[in-house]
Structure formats: structure tokens, C-alpha cells
Chain A
Amino acid sequence: MRPNFNIHIKGRSLWKICALVGLGIVLTCCVLQIYNINQPITATAGSTITITTRDSVSTNIDGNPILTNFVVGILLPKGFAGATNTTVSYTSSLGNGQMQLMPSTAIEPSTAGSSNLSYSASMLAKFGIGNNLINDLEWVVFRSVNQVSIASGVVILGNVTFQIKVGADGNTTIFKPAYVICESNDGLGYFVGNLSDPFFAFNNGARMTVNGPGDILDLCDPQLTSFNPPNALQNDLLTITYNEGLDSLKLLKGNKLYLCVDTVYTSDGKKLTGFCSQTEQTQLLETSSTSNLYTLTFWPASFFKLSSTQTLVEMAYHIIDANGNKVGLNDSSAPFIYKFSCN
């Protein structure tokens, strides 16, 4: 007789539903929103700016109220040193309070037991660098000093206020901040893994220009030329990319384009010239026939024939075509500047 291994469990679906409801009791918390960001679009390096966000939390918790910390994150240029130059406070229908820097050792709950990321690293992994293009930004994360008791079925309305001393590095910086709110029980997780049901809210901010006496760091706009790696020294292999599609004046003709370095400055105060030529060594090659992106990878120490004691500081350069037509900073005749630095 053929054995019958089919086991029938009555109410199999019922168990699934019970498990789901059980998870719901533990995990269901809130629907969060950042729906109003009041942020300046210009500022002066060294000044303190105020940014406020209006937030709401609709709670849905089975059982007793939960004790948790409000958590906020803001995406800032690394040059701002946001961890030391930012203070955060909040007002809410559950009371007002101060926020403190999230310890780097605190694990963001949705990564606990897997990647075990800090809040800052987890925000970078989940939201990247927002609407910026150059990865020279960091997520600075704060949590409420006091825990808050949150009951079910309430709508918490609140304002978060950031006071930021901008432009600590003295540079002119153009970037787009971004904002995250969550609470410390659920972090950046989702209700039963459903991506349409997050335990957090994320919003991009408007483009901001912080004017300073130093270099111009445009982190969010496509550039005519860009470098990989962005920070390098003379013994790195440096790849320059020219984005022909952004040459709105169409100054360069044909597809033979070259790196023309006008002047190189060294730490011993010397100016080196004679590196503007149209040769195989200086030619940028198009990455594909339709990309409009031209690249050249070079070794600065060798390219500029430096002695073992010379250190590069910066170079002023143009991109030129076979006929000697030039393009410079913002499609002008002024040279592009690249600084050799690790910061």
C-alpha cells in the first residue's frame, strides 16, 4: 500500500493570519511625514542658519504605549563638520525638548543582526547623497535627549529646528540637503518588510549656496570637467572626464579633444608650464560613440615630470580641440582649477 505522507492541518491559513497579526502587534508604529521644510537657499560661510521642518506622526500601536526616542538626520557637506556645528531642538504635541548627536556606536535597528550599521551609515546606504552628484557629504544624526511615550491612535505634530554654523571649511559650497525622521524602536525599517509602509520619512531639500572665501565646491550640479577620484595627490592615477553635452556654447569642434594644462603650481612656489599640447599623451577619448563623455587617465607625477622632492599643489587647465579652440570654467575662457589634496 502506498504510504500517504500528506498531512492536513486544519486552519493552516488561520495560523498565517495569527503570525501576521502577532508581528503587527510588535512592529506597527507609525506613519511619518516631513511636509514643510523652511530652509534658506543662500548663506555666508561662518554664519549660523536656521532650518525648520514640520513633521507629523500618526500612530497605530497595539497594546501599551511604547517608549522611544525621536530621531532626525540631515545630509550636510563634510566640510561643514556638522556633528560639532549643529544643534537641534523640537517642539511637539507630546512636549518639547533638545536633541543630541546620535552615538556612532548606536546600531540602526533595521540593520541589527545583519550589517549592523550606525544610523549615519545606514542613512547613506538607504538614501545615498540625495540629489547631489559628488560624494563629499555625510548624514549627521540626532536623537531626542529624553524618551517619549507614544500611545496608539494619536497624531503627533511637531517642528524640528536645526541651527547650523555653515561653511566651517571656508569654501563656497553648493549642495542640496536632505532630511530624515524616524524613531529609535524601528529605525529605518518597514512594516513586515513592505516597502510601501516605511517607519521613516525622507525628503530632499532645496539647492543651497554657502558663500566663502575658499574654493568653489559644487556638489550637486553637473560639471564640464570632473575627476575620479575627487581627492587625489600626484602619485594617484587621476581620471579627468569632460562632459561635452554641457558645453552649451559648442566651443569645441570635432571629436579630438585634449587636456591643456596651462600652469602647475608646486609646494616650493614654482610655476611649471609647457604642458598644453595636442598629443596622444594628452588626448581624451570618448567612452562610447554617443556618450559625449571624454576621459583621460594620467599619473600627475610622471605627466608633469616632477622631481622626487616636488609636491603638486594645483593645476590650471582648459580642454582644447585639434584646432586650438578652448573651453574653461563655466564655458568661459577662465581656466579650470584642480587642487591636489586629500581633504
Chain B
Amino acid sequence: MKKLQKLKILNVLLFVLVLLVWTGCKTENVNPVSESVKDLTGTWRIVKANRNGTNLLPLVDSNYINFNKFSIVFKGGSYTIVNPLPFIVTQNGTYSLDNPQYPFTITFKQTGSTTPISTAFTYPIVNGVRILTLVFSPGCPQNTYSYSLQKVN
């Protein structure tokens, strides 16, 4: 007797479950969200710097040479370097991205120079903040530098 009652309750519960699944399904129109254009406009400062994998920040910390003082300002297709350090370029000039939505390469063109310099870069969001990481060799090609920059404003 008890077994029959349990079976009835189970059947009712199964019916309710099927009803919920049936009514829960509905067609939804999803509009695809377009990827935002990557805008570098602003002032960027170095938050991380490596030379051949070694952290440079504790090594370079004086009034004469200091990563905290270096910045690069991107504005309207131009860039300006403040308090220069070994970098991809040494002079101010113009810049461009290979793709405004999905950029993988940034190209710098120094004022007065006809040779553009391109480098791969990554643009991830770390702890809610955009980080621009550039890898380059300003001296010997076997010496690789990696600067990670964060926008100031």
C-alpha cells in the first residue's frame, strides 16, 4: 500500500517537472554585440619591465633613470614619449594598429623617418584594468625587453 502511494507522489512530481521544462523553453532573439574599437588614447606608464626575463624595476630606480618617470601619450594617431628610456622608438611620431577591433600589431613611425617599426603587443584586462604589453629589442637582437603599461587617466 505504502509503495503505491509513493509511486503516485513520484508520478505527480515527474509531471510537474515536465511541465516546468516545457514552459521554461522559449525562443530568444540574441543580437550579437560588436567588439569595441581599441582606443589607446591617453597617457600610459610602465608597471612592469623585464630584460631577458629579469625584473628591471628594482635595478633602474634613480633620479637619472627611472621607469616611474617614463610615459607615452597616445592622441589622435600621434604619440609622445616623456622622459625616454630604451624603447621601440626614441623619437615622437605617429602610430597605427593593424586592426581597430582585434589588434595584434602596433606600428610606430618616428617623425622624419620613412621606416615604420612594428611590434606585436597584447592588450588584456588585468584586475579590471587594461594593460598594454610591448616586447622589443632596442639593442642586440638577443636581448628582449618587455614593458607592461597602464593608462593613467
Contact = CB atoms under 8 A, between A and B. Distances in A.
Contacts, number: 57
Quick one: which of A228, A234, A237 has the most chain B CB within 10 A?
Answer: A237
Contacts of A235: 86, 90, 138-139
A228 B56 CA distance: 12
A107 to B, nearest CB: 24
Interface in A280-328: 280-281, 295, 297-299, 301-302, 308
A244 B138 CA distance: 31
A297 B60 contact: yes
Nearest to B140: A342
Contacts of B90: 235, 308
Interface residues of A, number: 20
Quick one: which of B63, B84, B139, B143 has the most chain A CB within 10 A?
Answer: B139
B135 to A, nearest CB: 15
Contacts of A298: 65
Interface string B33-64: 00000000000000000011010100110111
Nearest to A297: B59
A284 to B, nearest CB: 12
Interface in B117-135: none
Interface string B52-82: 1010100110111100000000000000000
A233 B62 contact: no
Nearest to B65: A299
A297 B56 contact: yes
A234 B86 CA distance: 9
B106 interface: no
A237 B146 CA distance: 12
Interface of B: 51-52, 54, 56, 59-60, 62-65, 84-86, 90, 138-143, 145
Q: Lowest 9 CB-CB distances: which A-B pairs, in order?
A: A236-B139, A233-B139, A342-B140, A235-B138, A297-B59, A281-B64, A235-B139, A229-B143, A235-B86
